[in-house]
């Protein structure tokens, strides 16, 4: 797969996650996390009214997914992963951009998420997008594995200020 070509073709396509996507999502999940969610955990989460799943696809193949919770003031990203064969091609960033487009100025103004202290790829990925680590959550994953709490706030642009006048 050619990363440069992909970045130049409006790639990937991002849409709602549907039940039929779950086998592909589970394969990505298994290839991405030491303690992957089970199908049952995905189904139970996605049944909640404020939880939404989206997938990134390319040529009818699911190559990434994200799951997030809508809160009154923020969006909490529960999980995001990209198929190993499609990493470093802008797929994760495209999904974050989709998520950031759902922020509403002065209302749902930030995205939050957690990353393990040992998941350096995730930390660099989040920082590259503009997330900042604001807190350490002690023993979040295991008794000896902390998490960093990351926050992203939509940059305030001139047009936003103009539109509030």
Ligand X SMILES: CC(C)(COP(=O)(O)OP(=O)(O)OC[C@H]1O[C@@H](n2cnc3c(N)ncnc32)[C@H](O)[C@@H]1OP(=O)(O)O)[C@@H](O)C(=O)NCCC(=O)NCCS
Task: Give the interface with ligand X as residue ranges (CB under 6 A).
Answer: 32, 80-82, 87-93, 113, 115, 119, 121-122, 124-126, 128
How many other C-beta atoms lie within 10 A of the C-beta of residue 34?
8
Residues 82 and 91 sit within 8 Å (Cβ to Cβ): yes
Q: Which is nearer to ligand X, 22 or 81 (CB)?
A: 81
Which residue, 22 or 114, is less far from ligand X as judged by CB? 114
**In the complex, minimum distance from the CB of residue 77 to ligand X, in angstroms, rounded to a whole number:** 7
CB of 134 to ligand X, least distance (A): 15
CB-nearer residue toward ligand X: 22 or 56: 56
Give the residues across from 115 on adjacent strands: 148
HSE toward the beta carbon, residue 120, CA cutoff 13 A: 0
Give yes or no for a contact between 102 and 74, defined as CB atoms under 8 angstroms apart.
no
By C-beta, is 106 or 134 nearer to ligand X? Answer: 134
Identify whether the C-beta of residue 140 lies closer than 8 Å to the C-beta of residue 114. Answer: yes
Nearest distance from C-beta of residue 36 to ligand X, angstroms: 10
Report the distance separating Cα 113 and Cα 119, nearest Å: 13
Quote the least distance from Cβ 78 to ligand X, whole Å. 10
């Amino acid at each position: 797969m050619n990363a440069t070509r992909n970045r130049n073709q409006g790639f990937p396509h991002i849409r709602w996650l549907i039940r039929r996507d779950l086998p592909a999502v589970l394969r990505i999940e298994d290839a991405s996390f030491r303690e992957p969610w089970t199908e049952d955990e995905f189904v139970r989460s996605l049944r909640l009214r404020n939880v939404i799943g989206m997938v990134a696809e390319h040529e009818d193949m699911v190559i990434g997914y994200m799951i997030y919770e809508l809160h009154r003031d923020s969006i909490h990203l529960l999980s995001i992963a990209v198929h190993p064969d499609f990493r470093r091609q802008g797929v994760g960033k495209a999904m974050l951009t989709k998520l950031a487009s759902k922020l509403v100025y002065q209302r749902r103004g930030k995205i939050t998420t957690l990353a393990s202290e040992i998941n350096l790829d995730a930390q660099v990925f989040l920082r590259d997008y503009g997330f900042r680590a604001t807190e350490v959550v002690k023993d979040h994953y295991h008794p000896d594995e902390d998490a960093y709490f990351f926050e992203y706030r939509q940059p305030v642009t001139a047009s936003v200020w103009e539109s509030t006048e």
